[in-house]
Amino acid sequence: MESQAQEKKQIALGLFLVCLLAFTVYLLFSKIWSVFSSINPILGAGFVAASATIIVSLMSVLVSKHLERRATISAHLREKKIPTYEKIISFIFIITFADKLGKDRLTEKEVMQFMAKITQELVIWGSDDMLEAFYNFRKKSIENSNENKEDSYKILFIVEDLLLAIRKDLGHANKKISRGKILGLFINDLPNILK
Lowest mean pLDDT among 9-18, 109-118, 147-156: 147-156
Number of domains in the chain: 2
CB-count burial class (<10 Å; 0-12, 13-18, 19+) for 185: exposed
Question: What is the CB-side half-sphere exposure of residue 135 using CA atoms within 13 A?
Answer: 8
Do the Cβ atoms of 167 and 174 come closer than 8 Å? yes
Q: Are residues 101 and 158 in the same domain?
A: yes
Q: Are residues 136 and 161 in the same domain?
A: yes
The domain of 37 spans 2-65
Position with higher pLDDT, 145 vs 30: 30
Q: Are residues 61 and 86 in the same domain?
A: no
pLDDT tens for residues 71-110? 998 888 889 999 999 999 999 888 888 777 778 888 889 9
Position with higher pLDDT, 127 vs 100: 127
Among candidate residues 73, 83, 91, the one with its CA nearest the CA of residue 162: 91
Q: Are residues 112 and 186 in the same domain?
A: yes
CA distance 169 to 124: 14
Lowest mean pLDDT among 4-13, 116-125, 147-156, 174-183: 147-156
Lowest mean pLDDT among 12-16, 44-48, 159-163, 189-193: 189-193
